[in-house]
Structure 1
Amino acid sequence: MSTTIAPSQPAPGTTYPFAIADIAHATARLLGHGWSAKSTSGRWGVTGKVLGPCSTAFTFLVDEDDHLTIAFWYSTDDDFPETPKLPDGVIKCDAGVYLEHAAITDGLNPLAEQAAAAIRAITGLGDDHRKHQSAGPDQPGTNSARGEGVVYGHLPGSSGRGSSPAVADVLFGRLDR
């Protein structure tokens, strides 16, 4: 007697209760004023980006090891802690950090809470970010008109800290700053 197993055909949208982009949006809400999120990768919702009162953007994705990862490149404009104290279960990796034991069964809000705690630790902004809000529009530490004609970041493979060369230094030569 042979048994035929029917292929799995779940209804669209029922396999997972939320998308990665939903986690990014929930995280931005938890981070509060000055933070926002957008879905990237079109309408698929397979990645999400959190933007805030700093130049660094945080991209939410799932890596090849099935870890919920928050990828980011340090900007030379941001004054983040050299060695942030990451929350339990948040592990540093080449792309940024990942949530070690995160699972979709944890639920949207608990995942967003853990991601928000990780971003607060990375940025050093804590629960409030008055450090960036208190500066005027033309003062360092604000997010006014960044990116136009400016190159931020460090070369791939560098930690973005210490003696690693900045992209602008390689493109334009070392400037006295």
Structure 2
Amino acid sequence: MSSAISPLAPKARAAYSAYATRRDLADELADCLDAMHEYASNRNGTYLWDQAVWHLAHATEAIAFVSVAPRKDRRDRHRIAATVTMSAILAFERAYAMSLSYDEHGRYNPAPGSEYPFSVSDIGRATVQILGSTWHAESLPWGVGAYIEEQGEAQGYTLAVDGDGDLYLGDDARGGDRTYMTDASAADGLDTLAERIADLVLSLHTTTD
């Protein structure tokens, strides 16, 4: 995305802050909304951009209506316009943020590190922090897994993901037998996954001993 586009929403937010306290400062905000509407209209065809176009048009109408409303109604109309405008800015920001994950050909192309906030090797290292100071984790190449072992032990556990995308723990003492965590996902969070793996390691380790 062009760096000339990114100031659109922040500039609108600044104009909104001024307008929210003084309804006579509508012109600058309206200009910001027009610029955002033009940008969004050139990218419609996706749900988020279509929603942004609708919200921006609605906000522009709401602001314009304040100045022509009867004097007794202007305060309430101004309050409504301010609320509608913030919804429009948020809709634009959501659509813009999502568009950053796609290239000019429409292919999903998130920035490195943005799609998955941590690797499987990160889970392994977080796991040994829970298990205690005698436990260690060694990252597998490219961070696709981790080898977890206790100091002084000849065999350990391999934390990895299979071809179907399921997280598993392989137990060396049992010939590499795998215990799958088919319900686990990155959305569970690093700490939660580390706690589950630590519990599993301890249960297998105790059984082996």
Please, what TM-score do these two structures have when normalized by structure 1? 0.54
Residue 143 of structure 2 is aligned to residue 45 of structure 1: yes
Aligned counterpart for 2:166 among listed residues 33, 43, 67: 67
Distance 1:105 1:123, change over 3 A: same
Higher CA-based Rg: 2
Structure 1 vs Structure 2: percent identity of aligned residues?
A: 31
Q: Which has the higher helix share?
A: 2
Q: Secondary structure at the match of 1:74?
A: helix
Count of residue correspondences: 105
CA offset at residue 107 of structure 1? Answer: 0.2
Q: Could you tell me which residue of structure 1 aligns to residue 203 of structure 2? A: 121
Q: Which 5+ residue runs of structure 2 have no aligned equivalent?
A: 1-44, 46-103
- Relative distance call for 1:5 and 1:50 in structure 2 (3 A) is same
Q: Is the 8 A contact 1:55 1:75 kept in 2?
A: no
CA distance in structure 2 between the aligned counterparts of 1:100 and 1:120, rounded to whole angstroms? 19
Question: Is the deviation greater in 53-62 or in 24-33?
Answer: 53-62
Asked if 1:16 corresponds to 2:116, the answer is yes
Cα deviation, residue 5, structure 1: 6.1
1:35 is aligned to 2:132: no
CA shift for structure 1 position 29: 0.6
**RMSD over aligned Cα, in angstroms?**
2.4
Q: Please state how far the C-alpha of 1:75 moved relative to its aligned partner.
A: 7.2
Task: Give the equivalent residue in structure 2 for 1:166.
Answer: none
| Inter-partner Cα distance in structure 1 for 2:105 and 2:177 | 40
- DSSP 3-state at the match of 2:122: helix
Alignment of 1:1-177 (within 5 A): 6-41=106-141, 44-53=142-151, 54-74=153-173, 95-124=177-206
**Structure 1: tracts of 5 or more residues without a match:** 77-93, 126-130, 132-177
1-structure distance, mates of 2:203, 2:172: 15
Structure 1 segments, 4+ long, off by >4 Å, are none
In structure 2, distance between residues paired with 1:65 and 1:109: 23
